[in-house]
Structure 1
C-alpha cells in the first residue's frame, strides 16, 4: 500500500515539475492536452489507432466526426475503461451518437484521465516537529474533456463533413485548475471499397487557462528553491490526421480491411518516423480480418521511434498491438492488448470497450 502511494506521489511531483517548466504567461509546449491523443475504443487500440477513415459508429465522435452519418442504427452508445502504469492511472470514456435523419447526425462524448488517491503530505509534520500521519489527506490529478459533434452529408456523393466542439477541464487537487476550449474539423470520402478521412484537431489552437492556488505551497516552494507558478494560458497547436482504408473481400464469409493513418504535427520536431521542424509525420498501420462480420481479429503498428542506447548506438522501436472483436446482434465487445509506447518489458494494458446500437 505504501509503495503504491509512493509511486503516485512521485508521479504527481514529476507532473508538477513538468508543468512548472512548461507554463509561462503564454506558452505553446510540444506536448499539451496529450490525454486527448491516447484514443478511445478497443478496436482502435488494437489497430494502432489507425481508424480515422474506417470508424463509422459512435466512436467516430473522437476519431472522425464526419463519419457519424454512417451510423447503421438511429442510436449508438459505447463505454470504455482502461488502466495504465499497473493501475496507478485510470482512463475512462463514454459516448452517445444519434442519427437525426439520413443526411445528418450528432454525438456527445466524455473522457477522463486521472491519477487518484495521491497522498498530500504538506501537513505530515506539525509545528512541533511531530510526524502526524492522521493529517495526511489525498487528492486527484485528472483531465476531463467533453466533445459535442455534428456530421452532415454534402451534395457530393460519398463526401461528408463534421466537427467537434471541445470543452476541457483539468485540475490537480485544490492546487491548480484549467479550463480549455477548442474545435476539430473533419471530412470523409468513400467509394465502393476505399475510404478517405481527414481530421484537423485543435483547428484554431486549443487554449487552457490555468489558475494556481499557491497559498498552501509558497513555503514549500521557497524551501525547495522553486519558482511559484503564476496564472497562465497554454496553447495546443493544430494536428492534421490523414487516413486511407480499403476493404479486401476474400469470400462471402471472410474479408480484410487495411488502414494507414498519418499524424502530422506542427509544434516542433518530434521523435517520430519523419522528423522535421516545425512539421513531423507519424504513420501507423492497422489490419482487421473478419468472419461473417461476427468475429474480428485485429493488429496494428504505431509509435515508430529511433532510440539512442547507452553506448550511443541507435535502433528503431515500435509499438505492436493486438485485439479481438465480437459483434452479436446490436452488441459490440472489443478487446485490445497494447503497450504504452513500444515493445519493451513495460506492462501491457488490457483495454475493453462495450457498445450497443438500437433504433
Structure 2
C-alpha cells in the first residue's frame, strides 16, 4: 500500500510541477509568453505555423493583423484543441467584420486551461519514517490563461496593408492572478499577383504581466518575416502554396533586470516551413515543420460559407500529440 501511495504522490507532484511550468510562468520568466505562442488556427498549425504572409481570414488577428483586409464579409471562427495527453484544453473564438473602405475589425478570445488540479501540499501525513496521502485533505484548483485581442487591418494601397492588435491578458493560478497588456503589428505586401510577403512584430513594446504577488513577467519582442507563393498545378484545377517564415526572437540586455530594455542583436533565429495543396477550392491538404522542428499535417474541407479544418502536431512521446479542430463561417455571398 505504501508503494502505491508513493507512486500517487510522485505523480501528483510531477503533474502539478508540469502545470506550473507550462501555464503559470511565475519564476520561469524565459517562458512567460509561451501560452500566447500556441497556434489558434488548425490550418496554420498544419503548415508548421508558417502563416504570416498567407494569413487571410479571421485568425489573422493573431498571426498578422494586416491580413484582415483580405476579408470580404463577416467571418466567425471557433477552435478546440487537446494537448499534453488531453491534460490541457485550449479554446479560441474570433469574429471579424469590415467596418469601412478596406478596413476590417477583429475581436478574439482564447483560453488555455487545466482544471481540477490536485493540491497535495497540505495532504501529506508522516507516520514514523513513512509518508502517506490523506485524500480528505486534498483540494483542487484551476489554472487558466485568457487573452482578449482587438485588431484592426487597413489597406494602404493596392499592394500594401498594415494592421495592429492590442492584447489584454489575464492569468489565474489557484487564488493568484495576473494582468497584462501587449501590442502586435504587421504588414503584408503583394509583390506579384501570386506572391505575397508578410511581416509580423509581436509584443512590440514588450508585454508586461504583473502578478498580485508582486512577481513580474516580461515577454520580449519577436519579429517574423514570411513569404507565400501560389503555384497553379498544370492540368488540374488545383494550387500549391509553399510558405516560409523566418523568426527572430529578441533577448534582454545583461543587467537590465525588470527594465523594459531589449535588442535583436544576438537574438535567436529560427524558422517554420509548410505547404498547402488546394483542390478545386474545396479540399486542402497541408503539412509543415514548426519552429521546434516538429512535424505537422492537416486537412481542410470547404463548402459554401463553411470551412472545417483539422491538424495534428507531433509532440514528444511522453506528452502525447496535439489535435485541433476548427470551424470557420463566412457570411459573404
Instruction: Output the TM-score relative to the length of structure 2.
Output: 0.85
Map 1:118-129 → 2, pairs under 5 A: 118-124=117-123
Matched, 1:85 2:84: yes
Secondary structure in 2 aligned to 1:203? coil
Report the counterpart of residue 294 of structure 1 in structure 2: 282
State the 1:277 CA deviation.
Answer: 6.5
Matched, 1:179 2:183: no
Report the counterpart of residue 106 of structure 1 in structure 2: 105
The runs of 4+ residues in structure 1 deviating greater than 6 Å are 2-6, 126-131
Question: Does structure 2 conserve the Cα–Cα contact (< 8 Å) formed by 1:186 and 1:198?
Answer: yes
Name the CA shift for 1:9/1:76 in 2 (closer, same or farther; >3 Å): farther
Distance in 1 between residues matched to 2:265 and 2:79, nearest whole Å: 35
Secondary structure in 2 aligned to 1:40? coil
Distance in 2 between residues matched to 1:126 and 1:30, nearest whole Å: 35
Matched, 1:232 2:233: no
Unaligned regions of 5+ residues in structure 2, if any? 254-263
Judge which range, 248-257 or 236-245, deviates more. 248-257
Cα deviations by residue, 1:236-288 (Å, 9 ceiling, x for unpaired): 1100011010000114511100110011101269xxxxxx9631111111100
Report the counterpart of residue 348 of structure 1 in structure 2: 321
Name the CA shift for 1:69/1:76 in 2 (closer, same or farther; >3 Å): same
Question: Does structure 2 conserve the Cα–Cα contact (< 8 Å) formed by 1:69 and 1:102?
Answer: no
Higher strand share: 2
Distance in 1 between residues matched to 2:216 and 2:26, nearest whole Å: 13
Unaligned regions of 5+ residues in structure 1, if any? 23-28, 213-230, 270-275, 305-317
Distance in 1 between residues matched to 2:8 and 2:202, nearest whole Å: 35
Report the counterpart of residue 57 of structure 1 in structure 2: 57
Distance in 1 between residues matched to 2:320 and 2:126, nearest whole Å: 42
Cα RMSD after superposing both structures: 2.7
Question: Does structure 2 conserve the Cα–Cα contact (< 8 Å) formed by 1:8 and 1:115?
Answer: no
Secondary structure in 1 aligned to 2:53? coil
Distance in 1 between residues matched to 2:114 and 2:12, nearest whole Å: 7
State the 1:303 CA deviation.
Answer: 3.2
Cα deviations by residue, 1:121-148 (Å, 9 ceiling, x for unpaired): 3443689999653342211111110100
Matched, 1:146 2:130: no
State the 1:348 CA deviation.
Answer: 2.1
Map 1:14-93 → 2, pairs under 5 A: 14=18, 16=20, 19=25, 21-22=27-28, 29-72=29-72, 74-93=73-92
Question: Does structure 1 conserve the Cα–Cα contact (< 8 Å) formed by 2:66 and 2:154?
Answer: yes
Secondary structure in 1 aligned to 2:199? strand
Report the counterpart of residue 242 of structure 2 in structure 1: 258
